[in-house]
Amino acid sequence: MSPGHPTDSSVSAAAPRETFVLNVGPQHPATHGVLRLKLTMDGEYVLHAEPVIGYAHRMHEKMGENRTYVQFLPNPSRIDYLSAMHYMHAYVCVVERALGIEVPPRAEYIRVITSELNRIASHLVWFGAFLLDLGAFTPLLYAFDDREKILDLLEAVTGSRLTYCYYRFGGLCNDVDEQFIEGTRAFVKHMRGRLGMYHKLVTENLILRKRLEGIGVISAELCRKYGATGPVLRGSGVPCDVRKLEPYSVYPEFEFDVPHFAEGDCMARYKVRMEEIAQSLRIIEQAIAKLPPGPVMAEKVPRVIKPPPGDYYFAVEAARGRFAIRLVSDGTEVPYRLKLRTPSFSNLALFGEAARGLLMQDALALLGSLDLVIPDVDR
């Protein structure tokens, strides 16, 4: 919150001020998608911010209730297309939990490797786009250059570069080869060097620090109020990570830290994501070193997927926070209910309260620090 900013209370107590309503979006570079922000402004200060959503609603939950379990497999990766592997992971895991399927160890390790590569790719998109919002163009070119290396690796095993349908109920559609393993090792080495360059070029840049430090402060209590998770919550000092608190897959077998910073400002959220890239590299390196031999598909997976009647739940740590699926089965080939809990929706919900009193340019910095994917909000 900027010093000397007007607030709702001060405006009402003093003489009436002349305000105006500014629409940011739904087609606007700073919203990164079809998001509309209805801002009530007093000069350059935000008095009230109202996110208007729904422009990209695609009815994924309803589609989940009108398709068989197998037919819905391509959908999860299209909810948050930058964190596609994690969403696919959650979907196959909730069905595997319902069916009692045990996934082979090799498949679990490969799921972790590909998911963490996807996390890094997602953070690189955020890194480049966020700095572009702030007026810096060069980091975007470096970030997308590094992301291309990840996409090349994932394309070799999945056939896709953005929305993946690689996981299957009980494992994977195909194994990785030695070329993928060596390429991943080379990328880990390369990316560690690039992180050092990013910190010198960007993190230590005085202009960036002035734009982010002390700006857009979000308290841990505000995060709890709106259900914010992921880097937004960890940037407010809460070390909450599904991989640690509700361990799944083979994550318990790896050593990694949960980066968190207590400042709660835009800079803290920036540092969380940059540290998470380093931790993902650490996980990938361990997974490659421990990758066991064996099959990548479980035996005796039913050809027709009909989970027993019941209520099932599974959560993963996606790039933007906690993604969870609640599956209600009535014993047929089609889910009775498929409820999706997406992190971008909850993270956006706090924007109105957190942006109050900020300068316009600081409000856009706050918005960028939330790392929103709008189809993830609208679903």
Residue range of the domain that includes 182: 70-306
Query: Which tens digits make up the pLDDT trace of 75-133?
Result: 999 999 999 999 999 999 999 999 999 999 999 999 999 999 999 999 999 999 999 98
Position 220 confidence tier, pLDDT thresholds 50, 70, 90 = very high
CATH of the domain at 242: 1.10.645.10
Q: Where are the beta strands (DSSP E) in 1-44?
A: 20-24, 27-28, 33-34, 36-42
- Looking at residue 373, its pLDDT comes to 92
For the ranges 17-26, 189-198, 239-248, 318-327, the lowest mean pLDDT is seen at 17-26
For residue 362 the two structure tokens come to: 């600081």
328: left (phi over 0), alpha (psi -120 to 50) or beta: beta
Whether residue 126 contacts residue 376, with contact meaning beta carbons closer than 8 Å, is answered with no
Q: Residue 154: which H helix or E strand, with range?
A: helix 138-158
135: left (phi over 0), alpha (psi -120 to 50) or beta: left
CA distance 26 to 325: 28
Position 29 confidence tier, pLDDT thresholds 50, 70, 90 = confident
Number of domains forming the structure of the chain: 1
Position 26 confidence tier, pLDDT thresholds 50, 70, 90 = confident
**pTM to 2 decimals?**
0.92
Query: Which tens digits make up the pLDDT trace of 145-157?
Result: 999 999 999 999 9
Please name which of 248, 291, 305, 256 lies closest in space to residue 107, comparing C-alpha atoms.
Answer: 291
For residue 171 the two structure tokens come to: 């494992």
Q: Residue 274: which H helix or E strand, with range?
A: helix 266-290
The answer to whether residue 21 is domain-embedded is no
The answer to whether residue 102 is domain-embedded is yes
The answer to whether residue 329 is domain-embedded is no
The answer to whether residue 285 is domain-embedded is yes
CA distance 83 to 126: 11
Whether residue 121 contacts residue 333, with contact meaning beta carbons closer than 8 Å, is answered with no
The answer to whether residue 347 is domain-embedded is no
Over its C-alpha atoms, the chain yields an Rg (Å, rounded) of 21
CA distance 84 to 74: 10
The answer to whether residue 266 is domain-embedded is yes
pLDDT above 70 covers a percentage of the chain that reads 96
The answer to whether residue 32 is domain-embedded is no
| Average pLDDT value over all residues in the chain | 92
C-alpha separations of 187 from 15, 117, 248, 301, 359 in Å? 60, 10, 25, 34, 40
- Looking at residue 8, its pLDDT comes to 52
CA distance 157 to 180: 8
Position 5 confidence tier, pLDDT thresholds 50, 70, 90 = low
Please name which of 29, 71, 73, 34 lies closest in space to residue 51, comparing C-alpha atoms.
Answer: 34
Tallying the residues shown for the chain, one arrives at: 379
The answer to whether residue 228 is domain-embedded is yes
